Each structure stands twice: as structure tokens, then as C-alpha cells.
Structure 1
Amino acid sequence: MKGIRPLNQLSKRCYAASRSGSLIDPLPVNPRKVPVKPVFQPQDVQVSKLPSGMLVASLENYSPTSKIGVFVKAGSRYETPDNVGLTHVLRLAGNLTTKGASAFKICRSVEAVGASLSITSSKEHMVYSAEFLRDDFHTVVEYLAHVITEPEFRPWEISDLTPRIKIDKALAKECPQIGVIEKLHEAAYKNALANSLYCPDFNEGNIKSEQLLSFVANNYTSGRMAIVGVGVKHSILRQLGEQYLHVRAGAGVPGAKAVYRGGELRVQSADGLVHALVASEAAPMGSAEANAFSLLQRALGAGPHVKRGANICSKLSQGIAKATTQPFDATAFSATYSDSGLFGIYTVSQYDAAAEVIRAGLAQVTAIAEGGLSAEDLARAKNQVKAEYLMSLEATEGFLEEMGAQLLTTGAISTPDAALQGIDAVTASDVANAAKKFVSGKKTMASTGHLINTPFVDEL
């Protein structure tokens, strides 16, 4: 038949184009089809400083996702009496239009790659963080940089934030602990750390675009910023500071040093439960004395360690249970900052038993100050502190926060081994001295509820 060639005339390329040697030899293994598992060498945390003065720290853990955070020394403590509450507005304004992208474009572009972008704040830091797939670094970082360095703060967009501010405050009021802690700081300090994380009622809707732009210009400088990343190469993370974060060089406007004064704030309400927090000045972050206060907190009891469990095994609970038969809750409170700290006793009780519960809780601290801490109690406290510290580092978010806080406070990052050695170095006498400092120190008290039977701070 025409058009069909005999089989012996077919081109050899039909069956032997990539074949050499005898047809009866076994086929060689194609190396391209054999998966080769990459060998990942464990990495240590790398820290460097850009020419602009910005600090960079990273840990390459070869995760398929990356998380980066930009920490700025621009928390509520840097507010002035003229713009108090500004950082609350700034925290909510992170998704608004910038000079490089509209609010809609930022939202759509970040969601399109499955990333997340969030902004949180504390009394010392503003934290801009993003989590994304490793291959989307440049896409996400571009919009993160827009949010940090190129905000416009359009007046009509800022005014639209007022309802969100009210919702935030309403949610905070539903948690009495937040209110008591905020009142404690307001009473304890004359300035700086006295500023609340939430915008006060009298300033709702009064924070203007000009104030926000001025605050960013004065505080968002290279000397006050640190970039921290987990699951990203250090060289790539440096590009964020060199290529994207174009901010003014220098240390910016210095913040006021926190001045502890002591005092009392009472919020009367119809609530039958009394929330009371009695504290005094403690140690700043990163000091050896701060470790002693951390152990003192765990020795007294820092909350239950079993889900939905009670705190009945703590010294506070056992001591207070001897003073009252009514239900209560008591935990030791500790907060550390770059230049100060607070330590105290937080109690929740029925209004008619508030005096007995508060005094019994303070008596437990006095007992430790007088040498009532056994070797077993100290060992248990050390185990709890070390376990909580190491467990917090296992989570990416906790590790990121720890690196960022250390980097901005000390300019370096201590290894977990060094932190554990610092905890082990604390002796029983160090914990007793921390308790003595609390007992003899000037007290601050914040309380809320039906306070008819709640003693004043000068009566304790």
C-alpha cells in the first residue's frame, strides 16, 4: 500500500535515539527521577547592624513559611500629653492607604498570596509582622514597607477609625484584668509607662493626621528599629532594611525615663467581685534581679498549669485558704520594662472577703522575705520558669517577640543556654531579697468592684 513504509525502513529515532550499547543491557537509573533529599545544616541566630544603624536578626529554620517582624521603639510610653492615645489609632491605621498602595490593594495583594499582616503594640514597641510562604518574600515585604514608611493618614480614613476604637475599648472593658492592670500603671508612674494602650474617652476622634505623621517622623528612625525574621536567610532579610525600609537615620526623639511614684486608683461598680492588684517597683528587663522576681512569682503561684485547673497548689492559694472560706483566686503579677518593672499580688474575691484575701496574699510574700522559701520550692520555681521560657521559644510568634524585645533593649540576643544559666544562678537569698524589696517598697494599688470592704493602700 502506498504511503506506508516497510517496518525495516522506519527511522531508528523511533526507538533508539537516546540509547547506546546493546539493547539487552539493563536500563541505567535516571538521576533526574531519583529525589535527592537536601541536607540542612542547623543554623544559629545571626545578628548584624546595617550602615543606617538598624538592627537585623534572623534564624534560618528551613520552614516552608517565613515570618518577619519590624519592631519600633514607639509604644504608648512615647506619647505626650497632647497626643495621648495616638498609638491606639496608629495600631488600627495599619491597613489604610499609603503613598505606594491603596487600602484595597494592600488587602487584596496580601490575601492573594495567602499571607497575613498584623500590627500589635505594647507600652514600649510597635510591632509590624507578616507571615507568608517563603517564595513570596518580596511581594509581602513591599506592602509591609509601605505600611511602615509611607503612611498617608488621610483625614477621612482616620475619622472612620473612631467606631473601631470604641469597639476595642468595649472589648477590653469586658476583661476586668486589663482594666486593673492599666489602672495600676496609671497610678504607679508619673509619666511614660502611665500611658494606657487604649485611647482615652476625651481624645476619641481628636487624633489628627498631622499628629500621626509627626509621631512617625520623630520615632520611626533607623536607630529605633529592629528587623527580626524566622525561616528566612539573613542576607535576604537585610534587603528589607536596605532596599525597602527608607526611614530617617538617627535615634529620633528620646523618650522620657519612667518615674515610679506609687499611689492608688479605685473604680467603684456594682460588681460583687473585687479585683485588686497591689504592687511595688521591681527590676528592669534583662537584669539578674528580674530573674529573682520571676522565680518569686512562680514560687508564690503564677496561675494554674493544668487546663481549666485551679491554682490550689500555690503558696498564695494555700495561705489565703486559711484566712477565708469564701471562693477566691490569687496569682503573683510581674511586668518588666527597659527601665523599670512591677511586681505584685492580684486577687479576685467576694466583696465582703476582699480585706482578708488581700492581706493574706501579702502575708505570703512577707513569709518568703523572712526566709520561708524551701529548696524544694526554689527548684520547682526554676523548673517552671525554664519550661515556660523554652516552650515560648518553640512557637514562632513567641520566639520573634523575644528576639525583637532583646534586640531593641540590649542590642544583642542571648542564647537559651545563657538564659537558663542566669535562672540557675539565682539563689534562695536572691529571691528573699526580691520579696524584701516588695515588702519595704512604696506600694501601688488598683481595684475595681464593690469596694466597701476593700482596704486602701495605706492601710495594708
Structure 2
Amino acid sequence: MSMFSNVTLRVSGSRSGLWVHRHSAILVRHRLEEFAVMRGIRSFNNLSKRGYAAARRSEPLTQHFDATRKPSPAPPTPPQHVQVSKLPNGLVIMSLENYSPMSTVGVFVKAGSRYETVENQGVSHVLRLAANLTTKGGSAFKICRSVEALGGSLNVTSSREAMAYTTDCLRDHLDQIFEHLVNVTTAQEFRPWEVDDLTSRVNIDRALAQQSPQIGLLEKLHEAAYKNALSNSLYCPDYMIGRVSPEKLQLFVEDHFTSSRMALVGLGVTHSVMRQLGEGLMSVRSGAGAPETTAVYRGGELRMQNNDSLVHALVVSQGGVMAGAEANAFVVLQRILGAGPHVKRGANVTSKLSRGIAEATTQPFDASTFNTSYSDSGLFGIYTISQAHAAGDVIRAAVAQIKGVAEGNVSAEDITRAKTQAKCEYLMSIESSESLMEEMGAQALTTAAYQPPEAVLQAIDAITQEDVVKAAKKFVEGKKTMAASGHLINTPFVDEL
């Protein structure tokens, strides 16, 4: 299973062991609810007056309305099931008819930052920002006004694994707005003067990211943990700002925007319609595209010394791979140790991490378990925030809690409670159309199949105490990676843990 979570810049850890990191920017989001409501009220009033006048001229109203008459029940709708198919050119199509008045369609592409090379570092960041530029199908102004006139939206998000171009609109407008989606994903032009104008937006993105210590810590963690691929940042590095040329953008698109690396996913649309829409992507280059590089975990440490009184620290080992059984064991272990408060405006004082750290220090702190999975790797560990002089006690106490589980200090009640929490969080997450869309897109790109909720719940129920202990031992015995920022005078080095 895979799920996603959002924070300030939509970069997060894992809720289910199958999350990916991402960073989103809204291209067009304009709604016409007020206009529609005003028109609806005016039309309704006029209709009522005309209907009343006509009735008075012909016969009494009682002959037209029967207060005792009950409306006929609506016909039952057939059950909802996700349908998956694959076109001859390799394009995966996945859809769910949920009978919503709105349709959401997305094009998912294996074109995240992990596919960048030394020569084109930052190209995926610039490509995400370039999604609202002129295409062969029309100017940026034309696309914006056309989508705006339909009351729809176009969005693009990117992660280390993939890029997703999604659109929301009324069902009746899907054909019209999908044309713009096709142009944005397959008919880019990358005019030099428009690409040059993106430099300021790249700088703004980087400035916003630098304001968040969590985002900076995550970037440094991946840089230290991997030798390649997943070590690439979500943000364009300083030395590449203004150097990502239109030629580099075009070459990256030609290498990675191919049919076998793409998936078309839809909510609120029938599968037959989705297959017809998929034919609109037949112009996409076919083939496997550029070869994929397997991420190599190495372990390491990066420390960012500054004058901040709070120390942010992440200590991880290699975790479970997306869609693997081991990932579910890490999900349950995450809930046992503490994945965050489960009560609105509550505190995480009942988790093993919080209880264990509270015994080691009287200073204020915050601690949670970090868990993220990718198509070929994963990271699992602890994330702590503490006062600079208490950082060592907090970090060591948090690591000790995982060691305790590895030694078998976990009860059957702990396992049952953690599995219940994991299942509830998963079911609640897919109630959101956005999360469900991302879940389907991730599975379409990874396995070209869909794992229904029933199968996900069964996989979680199948986790045993032995599986959880084994996952904890993998962290304890594995090579560690650490990233820390703040006044690090009392922060231990990774080899001291």
C-alpha cells in the first residue's frame, strides 16, 4: 500500500511505509462557485414565477402537486471497483467510477529528481515550474484562461520518484480540459525567454524551503544516506540556478516522458472514457526511455552547525521497499514507537518514544518515528527536536526504545493497537480524493496493478510480533545515517550511537 501526507511544502515522511516525498506548485486554481450560485438563484426565482402564473391561468395548484405522494427511490448504483488496463504502447490506465459530479484525471510520470544526472541537476525542479509555460497547443495565457473559463484547475507535483500532472473539472468539461493536460505533458516548447524567467521562482522555492528546518534536514538526510539517485535534492542546487537550459529540459522530457514510464489515472470517470482519453496520449514517445539506476544506500552523516537553540536530528537505517511485506512491518513498528498524536490538539505522551525520553530528561522535547519507502529502498528511524544541551540525552533515549523492541520488549497488546492504528489511518487517508489519486498513481507506476483496501488490511493483519522485532533489529544492526542542525555542541556523532 502507499499513502501520502502533506506539510508546508508537501514534503513528508511515510504514513504507510510507501510514501514518497514531493513538492507541489499550483498552476491554475480558480473556482466560480459564487457566480454559479448567483445564476442558480436568479434562474430558480424566474422559473417559480412563470410556473405559478401558468398554473393560475389553467387550473388549481392542487391538481399539480400531491403532498402525500412520495418520491420514487433512486436506482442503486453498482459497486465501485478500480479498473486497470494497459495499452499496447505500455501506458497504464487506472480508473475508479465514484459517481462524483467532479472528474479528476492525472498523468503520472517516472521523472522525479532521482533520475537526474550530474550534468542536469535541478532539471526536475525547473520542469515542474515550467508546466505553466507555452506549449505547442497554445500560449500560457490561453491555457490559463481556457481552464479558468471551465471552472477547472491544473496542478503539477514532483517527488524523488515521479511527477504528476492532474486536473479537476466538472464531468461535462473533461474532454475540453484534458486537451490542455495533454499539451502540458507532451507538447512542451521551452522557449528560452520563458525558461529564463523561471530563475526567480526557483530562488523563491529555495528560500521558502530554507525557512523550514524539517525540509532542510530531509534533504541532507537523503544526501548522506545514498550514493546516487535518491541522494538528488528536490531543489535545484545553487550552482545550477539559471543553468538549466531549454535543451536540457527537452532532453530530459524525451528520455523520461515515454509511454512505458507513464500512467493515466482517473476518479469520477468510467474506464471506457479513460481508455478513450488514453488515446490522446498516443503521440507520446513509446519505449522504455532512459535506463533506471538502482539507488545504493551507503550511510553517513551531515551536520549543519548554526546558532539555533533547538537541535533537529534524524537518525535512520535502511528500511522497507515500497509494496514489500517488510514495509508493513515497519509501518506497525512506527505505530508502536509513536508516529504522532492521534487525538486532535493532543500530545504524543503515550508513545514508547515519549515515555522513554521523559525518563532520560526533564527538558522539553518532541520525538516521532520517521518512515519512508521508495521503489527500491527505504529509510526508518527517529526524528527528535530538543534543546541544544539536552540533545544527546534525547537522541540516545529514542534510539534505546528501538533497541528495546529489537530485544523483544513488545507485547501482543502493543502489536494489536499498532495494527489497528495503521489500518484506521490508511482507511481515513483514502477517503480524500487527492490521497486516493496519489495512491493509485504510485501503484500504477510501480506495479501496474491496484491493491484494494481489503488486501491492504489483510497484509497489515498478517504482521506478527516476530516481523516487528525483525524490523527493529534491522535498524539496530544496520548502518546508520544521521542529519542534524542547530547548536550541535552536545549532539552525538552517528558512530557514537
What TM-score, normalized to structure 2? 0.85
Q: Residue 278 of structure 1 corresponds to which residue in structure 2?
A: 315
CA drift of 1:27 comes to 9.4
Q: Residue 335 of structure 2 corresponds to which residue in structure 1?
A: 298
1:3-14 equivalences under 5 Å are none
Distance 1:146 1:27, change over 3 A: closer
C-alpha separation in 2, matches of 1:173 and 1:367: 35
- Check the 8 A contact 2:229/2:295 in 1, yes or no: yes
- Check the 8 A contact 1:145/1:245 in 2, yes or no: no
C-alpha separation in 2, matches of 1:94 and 1:36: 46
User: Whose radius of gyration is greater, 1 or 2?
Assistant: 1
- Check the 8 A contact 1:284/1:341 in 2, yes or no: yes
- Check the 8 A contact 2:263/2:444 in 1, yes or no: yes
Q: Match for 2:445: what amino acid? A: L
Q: Residue 39 of structure 2 corresponds to which residue in structure 1?
A: none
CA drift of 1:35 comes to 8.0
* Segment drifting more, 232-241 vs 312-321: 232-241
Q: Residue 139 of structure 2 corresponds to which residue in structure 1?
A: 102
C-alpha separation in 2, matches of 1:28 and 1:79: 68
C-alpha separation in 1, matches of 2:271 and 2:354: 47
Q: Match for 1:402: what amino acid? A: E
Secondary structure class of the residue paired with 2:106: strand
Number of equivalenced pairs: 431
Secondary structure class of the residue paired with 2:84: strand
Q: In the alignment, is residue 420 of structure 1 matched against residue 457 of structure 2?
A: yes
Q: Residue 313 of structure 1 corresponds to which residue in structure 2?
A: 350
Q: Match for 2:478: what amino acid? A: G
CA drift of 1:433 comes to 0.3
CA drift of 1:431 comes to 0.2
CA drift of 1:251 comes to 1.1
C-alpha separation in 2, matches of 1:351 and 1:299: 27
Task: State which of 293, 306, 315 in structure 2 corresponds to 1:269.
Answer: 306
Secondary structure class of the residue paired with 2:323: coil
1:377-396 equivalences under 5 Å are 377-396=414-433
C-alpha separation in 1, matches of 2:439 and 2:461: 20
- Check the 8 A contact 2:102/2:171 in 1, yes or no: yes
Q: Residue 174 of structure 2 corresponds to which residue in structure 1?
A: 137
1:425-440 equivalences under 5 Å are 425-440=462-477
Q: Residue 437 of structure 2 corresponds to which residue in structure 1?
A: 400
Q: In the alignment, is residue 48 of structure 1 matched against residue 48 of structure 2?
A: no
C-alpha separation in 1, matches of 2:235 and 2:354: 32
CA drift of 1:245 comes to 4.9
Secondary structure class of the residue paired with 2:382: strand
CA drift of 1:37 comes to 3.7
Secondary structure class of the residue paired with 1:70: strand
- Check the 8 A contact 2:182/2:280 in 1, yes or no: no
C-alpha separation in 1, matches of 2:431 and 2:85: 23
Task: State which of 152, 161, 174 in structure 1 corresponds to 2:198.
Answer: 161
CA drift of 1:40 comes to 2.1
Q: In the alignment, is residue 80 of structure 1 matched against residue 80 of structure 2?
A: no
C-alpha separation in 1, matches of 2:413 and 2:75: 47
C-alpha separation in 1, matches of 2:472 and 2:330: 8
Q: In the alignment, is residue 444 of structure 1 matched against residue 481 of structure 2?
A: yes
Secondary structure class of the residue paired with 2:489: helix
1:27-42 equivalences under 5 Å are 37-42=74-79
Task: State which of 228, 237, 258 in structure 1 corresponds to 2:295.
Answer: 258
C-alpha separation in 2, matches of 1:157 and 1:412: 38
Q: Residue 188 of structure 2 corresponds to which residue in structure 1?
A: 151
Secondary structure class of the residue paired with 1:451: coil
C-alpha separation in 2, matches of 1:279 and 1:28: 70
C-alpha separation in 1, matches of 2:462 and 2:470: 15
Q: Residue 360 of structure 2 corresponds to which residue in structure 1?
A: 323
Task: State which of 346, 350, 354 in structure 1 corresponds to 2:391.
Answer: 354
- Check the 8 A contact 2:332/2:422 in 1, yes or no: yes
Q: In the alignment, is residue 63 of structure 1 matched against residue 100 of structure 2?
A: yes
Residues 263-285 of structure 1 show CA distances to partners (whole Å, capped at 9, x for unaligned) of: 00011111010000000111100
1:158-237 equivalences under 5 Å are 158-237=195-274
CA drift of 1:312 comes to 0.8
Task: State which of 238, 241, 258 in structure 1 corresponds to 2:278.
Answer: 241
What 5-or-longer segments of structure 2 have no aligned partner? 1-62
Specify which structure has the bigger relative contact order, considering alpha-carbon pairs within 8 angstroms and separated by 6 or more residues. Answer: 2
Distance 1:36 1:355, change over 3 A: closer
Q: Match for 2:390: what amino acid? A: A
CA drift of 1:39 comes to 3.9
C-alpha separation in 1, matches of 2:211 and 2:64: 72
Q: Residue 90 of structure 1 corresponds to which residue in structure 2?
A: 127
- Check the 8 A contact 1:149/1:245 in 2, yes or no: no
C-alpha separation in 1, matches of 2:169 and 2:327: 35
C-alpha separation in 2, matches of 1:205 and 1:40: 54
CA drift of 1:240 comes to 2.0
Secondary structure class of the residue paired with 1:67: strand
Secondary structure class of the residue paired with 2:326: helix
C-alpha separation in 2, matches of 1:40 and 1:390: 22
Secondary structure class of the residue paired with 1:429: helix
C-alpha separation in 2, matches of 1:251 and 1:315: 46
C-alpha separation in 2, matches of 1:363 and 1:286: 28
Q: Match for 1:203: what amino acid? A: M
Q: Match for 1:226: what amino acid? A: A
Q: Match for 2:296: what amino acid? A: V
Secondary structure class of the residue paired with 1:452: coil
Distance 1:35 1:141, change over 3 A: farther
- Check the 8 A contact 1:60/1:233 in 2, yes or no: yes
Secondary structure class of the residue paired with 1:345: strand
Q: Residue 410 of structure 2 corresponds to which residue in structure 1?
A: 373
Q: Match for 1:179: what amino acid? A: G
Secondary structure class of the residue paired with 2:430: helix
Distance 1:104 1:330, change over 3 A: same
What 5-or-longer segments of structure 1 have no aligned partner? 1-25
* Segment drifting more, 211-220 vs 244-253: 244-253
C-alpha separation in 2, matches of 1:155 and 1:308: 49
Secondary structure class of the residue paired with 2:342: coil
Residues 201-241 of structure 1 show CA distances to partners (whole Å, capped at 9, x for unaligned) of: 11111100000000000000010000111100111111222
C-alpha separation in 2, matches of 1:435 and 1:200: 35
C-alpha separation in 1, matches of 2:237 and 2:452: 40
CA drift of 1:36 comes to 7.9
